[in-house]
């Protein structure tokens, strides 16, 4: 079989071919939802201006790992500081709850080690941050946050939603 079979009239470097360098049309958004636990096992929730409670979290920037994005978003939203090495990725969620044209992929993460005291860093979005017992979660939860909490603690009584859940295996010690 000749290698000429795959040659084209316009030989190009395969690594530079437009198919390898041109991103596809965006139909998904990638983010991280962060379950932040204090030393009493309480979860940090923020009261959104819309009246629902949510976990800290947000989009993953190009070139960032999930862990780096979670640490950055935690600092940007709450002023709490943690390192990427302190972020544990628990699983992935896929949904189209907020838009039928856009699939959202949320990495469910947990942070147990941080420094600082929660403070509202984005007052246009969040009214206040509160530590909440997992057994006393508010009913008015942002649906993606509720699903991240369900990945962390499947035993919690949380509203069902049309999410695809992918739990990641824990590394053996």
Q: Percent of the chain having pLDDT more than 70?
A: 81
| Separation of first and last alpha carbons in the chain | 49
Structure tokens, 91: 């699983």
Q: What is the pLDDT of residue 96?
A: 74
How confident is the model over 50-73, as pLDDT tens digits? 999 999 999 999 999 999 999 999
Residue of 46, 71, 44 whose CA lies nearest to 123: 46
> 101: burial class by Cβ within 10 Å (0-12, 13-18, 19+)?
exposed
Return the SS3 of 146.
helix
**Higher confidence at residue 173 or residue 32?**
32
Provide the whole-model pTM.
0.83
Instruction: Tell me the Ramachandran region of residue 117: left when phi exceeds 0, alpha when psi lies from -120 to 50, beta otherwise.
Output: beta
Average pLDDT of the residues in 6-13: 55
Q: What is the pLDDT of residue 165?
A: 85
Average pLDDT of the residues in 124-141: 96
Q: What is the pLDDT of residue 29?
A: 80
How confident is the model over 139-169, as pLDDT tens digits? 999 989 999 999 999 999 988 778 888 888 6
């Amino acid at each position: 079989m000749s290698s000429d079979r795959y040659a084209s009239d316009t030989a190009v470097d395969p690594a530079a071919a437009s198919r390898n360098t041109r991103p596809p049309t965006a139909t998904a958004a990638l983010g991280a939802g962060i379950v932040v636990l204090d030393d009493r096992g309480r979860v940090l929730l923020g009261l959104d201006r819309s009246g629902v409670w949510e976990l800290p979290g947000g989009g993953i920037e190009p070139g960032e790992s999930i862990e780096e994005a979670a640490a950055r978003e935690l600092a940007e939203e709450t002023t709490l500081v943690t390192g990427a090495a302190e972020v544990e990725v628990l699983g992935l969620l896929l949904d189209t709850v907020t838009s039928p044209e856009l699939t959202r992929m949320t990495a469910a993460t947990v942070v147990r080690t941080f420094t600082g005291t929660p403070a509202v860093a984005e007052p246009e979005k969040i009214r206040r941050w509160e530590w909440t017992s997992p057994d006393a979660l508010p009913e008015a939860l942002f649906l993606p946050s509720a699903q991240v909490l369900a990945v962390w603690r499947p035993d919690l009584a949380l509203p069902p939603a049309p999410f695809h859940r992918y739990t990641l295996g824990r590394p053996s010690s």
